[in-house]
Structure 1
Amino acid sequence: MGGILPGLMMAALLSATVIIQVLMKPEIAPRITQRVSFAERVSTSAQAIPTILIAVMIIVSLYVGIATPSETGAFGAAAAVLVALVMGRLRGGVMQKALQKTVRTTGMFMLLLVGGLFSSFVLTRLGVPQDVSNYLTGLDVEPWVIIVMINILLLIMGMFLDPLSILVIVVPIFLETVVGLGYDPIWFGVIVTIQIEIAAITPPVGLNLFVLRTVVPDLSLSDTARGALIFVLPMLLGIVLLMIFPQIALWLPSVMF
């Protein structure tokens, strides 16, 4: 519930980023010159129904309690196979090709994950996160300054560690500190989630960049990174807005519980 309004806010900020880019460089989104009838628009829009149906099934399974957040990934995959089967799209070795691509993407992802977990293990054993936390909490500054410093640290960590490693390192160490400073843990959780999304598109270890590179082999990793980095700005702006207006994340939970 705490992520709904921040999610809508992030969607608006990311959409605004695309609009601004197109206004500044119209050539990246050329206008369609051919006329499209209303019937063609309806028929084309109808092609999105299966995807929407899968998304609805995933969301319903999560909020009704059928599946946990971790299990929704498997539930979504099963829903995609079911929809494709009903539509008769699993012919011609489609399933085999999908499984092959899944194995390649998963294998690449697991290698990155193992590297990230190894890095987090080494950092934890060396006591680096603990030392940083002790240093931050010992500063004689306003609490918001410490929150800013934690966000800067998360931003730097996101460039070199995978999301799971960041959670393993950050949450146990900083959560108690953040709560002790008087901040709500739900609010902090939303901010960490946005930071993890930033980490997923920041090189050199941006997992989404590697996944996209696997899905679209014609796209170079450097081009993918350059195209994604512009979206870091609206995400950082979203974090700033959450720091100024924490009720964006806290209002819905306070109304429901």
Structure 2
Amino acid sequence: MDAVISAAVVLALILIYLGLGIWVFAGLFLVSITGLAFLLDMNLARIGTIAASISYRYASTWELAAIPMFIWMGEIIFRTDISNRLFRGLTPFVDKIPGRLLHTNVLGCTLFAAVSGSSAATAATIGKITTTELAKRGYDRDLSLGSLAGAGSLGLLIPPSIVMIVYGILAEVSVSRLFAAGVLPGLLIAGLYSGWIMVRALLNPEVAPKGSETYSWGDRLRGLGNIFPIIVLMGIVLGSIYSGISTPSEAAAVGVAAALVLALVMGQLTFKLFVETLMGTLRTSCMVCIILISAAFLSTAMGYLHVPANVAKAIAAMDLSPIGLLIVLSLFYILLGLFLDGISIVVMSLPITMPLATQAGFDPVWFGIYLVIMTEMGQITPPVGFNLFVLQGLTGDPIGRVAWASLPFFFLMLLGVAIIAIFPDIALWLPHLLYD
């Protein structure tokens, strides 16, 4: 069958299955099976062999061991007082900045992202504290929701990052280099978020009403003490990676051990909490891994149908400049982000976009950062925006309101992409400094 028709059928199947509300992993499996069975007339035994081979390959990939470890570390922080301490510690430092406590969303997510590789975990952990506190103090609801949704996505960009690990494995790029490359772009986008909050507060001071509290330097010193557990975890995890002491997978295990020790020292480590963190980790890890396997299966099916090769050929035939290619790819990723999660986007699209990017002269490490930012956008775009669902569950606000509040932060991410496209050394300087 003609490759263009095959591509259209696969896309239509994805939209139909996901539109029916089927679980993402089941929808991807069904698309793959349907495509191979009806478009290539492949028998079910052969399809089963392909699926089993892919499952075994991913189950035996050592680098993926970092995923449940980072999720477990996030669960420990989420269920202990460490996250509450983070909010209390940041509060005295933002009181004099236009926007005041709204910045705790951005700063809290930025710090938490440095010890958690998950966007949803970052938004949920910070959101369970800040949404209630900001509402009680009369802060603008939309700006509170939007800044939290946008900043929560930094869990994908600021290392350690589960999506970066997946990209590094599939693209055969050093995960340590990717982690280093994500630091400055992550801080850049966090700065854009805070800058927008300040602009909104200066234009309309009512979005961030002045509270009755005043903070001394003693309060700020005590605030540093509250932030200290997160700083320790950041130092242990990132320091062990960049010093060469451990690989990202090993650093994740070290981070879990450090989080457990901190919880023990703080007197919060109980057997019940230990079991709850394990169960939470099991649920989230299974979800991530099954999506990864199903998306890899779909990627393989698309390869059998020659979809990636033909899409790449069609785009190459446009004879686009590197900037033109980047614009086309950005539109492509924005479309994917409407329907798929970050890991699925990376696994599904990489066979198509990676050859195009390398042929156009883009550095694979830089392209990885670009791709992570594009997947971040998908976290705050309906109908399948994970961060939107998290905030809806936390606050009870309609999904439409959360999505509308997140829209300015979507455009700020686009601005961040434009900046690192014009100045690629923002992403590449630190990896070159540390590893060249």
Q: In which range does the TM-score fall when normalised by the shorter chain?
A: 0.7 to 0.9
1:86 aligns with 2:265: yes
Q: Report the equivalent of 1:176.
A: 355
Gaps of 5+ in 2: 1-179
Instruction: For residue 157 of structure 1, report the CA deviation from its aligned partner.
Output: 1.1
Instruction: For residue 239 of structure 1, report the CA deviation from its aligned partner.
Output: 0.9
Q: Mark the CA change 1:61 to 1:213 in structure 2 (over 3 Å): closer, same or farther.
A: farther
Q: Report the equivalent of 2:55.
A: none
Residue by residue over 1:139-177, the C-alpha shift from the partner in whole angstroms, topping out at 9 and shown as x without a partner, is 133232112101111121122122222222333332222
1:244 aligns with 2:422: yes
1:147 aligns with 2:147: no
The TM-score with structure 2 as length reference comes to: 0.51
Q: How does 1:120-199 map to 2 (within 5 A)?
A: 126-199=305-378
Q: Mark the CA change 1:66 to 1:162 in structure 2 (over 3 Å): closer, same or farther.
A: farther
Instruction: For residue 63 of structure 1, report the CA deviation from its aligned partner.
Output: 1.8
Instruction: For residue 202 of structure 1, report the CA deviation from its aligned partner.
Output: 2.2
- In the alignment, the residues of structure 2 paired with residue 212 and residue 80 of structure 1 have an alpha-carbon distance, to the nearest angstrom, of 25
1:21 aligns with 2:184: no
Instruction: For residue 75 of structure 1, report the CA deviation from its aligned partner.
Output: 3.9
Residue by residue over 1:110-141, the C-alpha shift from the partner in whole angstroms, topping out at 9 and shown as x without a partner, is 67667756765665555444332221111133
Q: Mark the CA change 1:117 to 1:182 in structure 2 (over 3 Å): closer, same or farther.
A: closer
Residue by residue over 1:217-236, the C-alpha shift from the partner in whole angstroms, topping out at 9 and shown as x without a partner, is 64554444333332111111
- Contact preservation (8 Å) 1:119, 1:161: no
Gaps of 5+ in 1: none
Pairwise CA RMSD: 3.1
The TM-score with structure 1 as length reference comes to: 0.81
- Give the helix-richer structure, 1 or 2: 2
- In the alignment, the residues of structure 1 paired with residue 252 and residue 385 of structure 2 have an alpha-carbon distance, to the nearest angstrom, of 20
Instruction: For residue 60 of structure 1, report the CA deviation from its aligned partner.
Output: 1.5
- In the alignment, the residues of structure 2 paired with residue 176 and residue 103 of structure 1 have an alpha-carbon distance, to the nearest angstrom, of 35
Instruction: For residue 87 of structure 1, report the CA deviation from its aligned partner.
Output: 1.1
Residue by residue over 1:88-120, the C-alpha shift from the partner in whole angstroms, topping out at 9 and shown as x without a partner, is 122594444444554565566567667756765
Q: Secondary structure at the match of 1:3?
A: helix
Q: Secondary structure at the match of 1:230?
A: helix
Deviates more, 1:107-116 or 1:82-91: 107-116
Selected match of 1:60 from 218, 236, 239: 239
Q: Mark the CA change 1:176 to 1:120 in structure 2 (over 3 Å): closer, same or farther.
A: closer
Instruction: For residue 179 of structure 1, report the CA deviation from its aligned partner.
Output: 1.9
- Contact preservation (8 Å) 1:120, 1:165: no
AA at the equivalent of 1:48? I
- Contact preservation (8 Å) 2:365, 2:428: yes
- In the alignment, the residues of structure 2 paired with residue 17 and residue 196 of structure 1 have an alpha-carbon distance, to the nearest angstrom, of 21
AA at the equivalent of 1:178? A
Deviates more, 1:238-247 or 1:223-232: 223-232
Q: Secondary structure at the match of 2:181?
A: coil
Q: How does 1:221-232 map to 2 (within 5 A)?
A: 221-232=399-410
Q: Report the equivalent of 2:209.
A: 30
- Contact preservation (8 Å) 2:311, 2:352: no
Q: Percent identity?
A: 37
Q: Report the equivalent of 1:40.
A: 219
- In the alignment, the residues of structure 2 paired with residue 97 and residue 30 of structure 1 have an alpha-carbon distance, to the nearest angstrom, of 38
AA at the equivalent of 2:255? G
Q: Report the equivalent of 1:8.
A: 187
- In the alignment, the residues of structure 2 paired with residue 209 and residue 32 of structure 1 have an alpha-carbon distance, to the nearest angstrom, of 28
Q: Secondary structure at the match of 1:47?
A: helix
- In the alignment, the residues of structure 1 paired with residue 384 and residue 370 of structure 2 have an alpha-carbon distance, to the nearest angstrom, of 20
- In the alignment, the residues of structure 2 paired with residue 70 and residue 204 of structure 1 have an alpha-carbon distance, to the nearest angstrom, of 33
1:201 aligns with 2:394: no
- In the alignment, the residues of structure 1 paired with residue 301 and residue 231 of structure 2 have an alpha-carbon distance, to the nearest angstrom, of 42
- In the alignment, the residues of structure 2 paired with residue 72 and residue 8 of structure 1 have an alpha-carbon distance, to the nearest angstrom, of 22
Instruction: For residue 59 of structure 1, report the CA deviation from its aligned partner.
Output: 0.9
Deviates more, 1:90-99 or 1:36-45: 90-99
- In the alignment, the residues of structure 2 paired with residue 157 and residue 112 of structure 1 have an alpha-carbon distance, to the nearest angstrom, of 15
Q: Mark the CA change 1:176 to 1:118 in structure 2 (over 3 Å): closer, same or farther.
A: closer
- Contact preservation (8 Å) 1:10, 1:234: yes
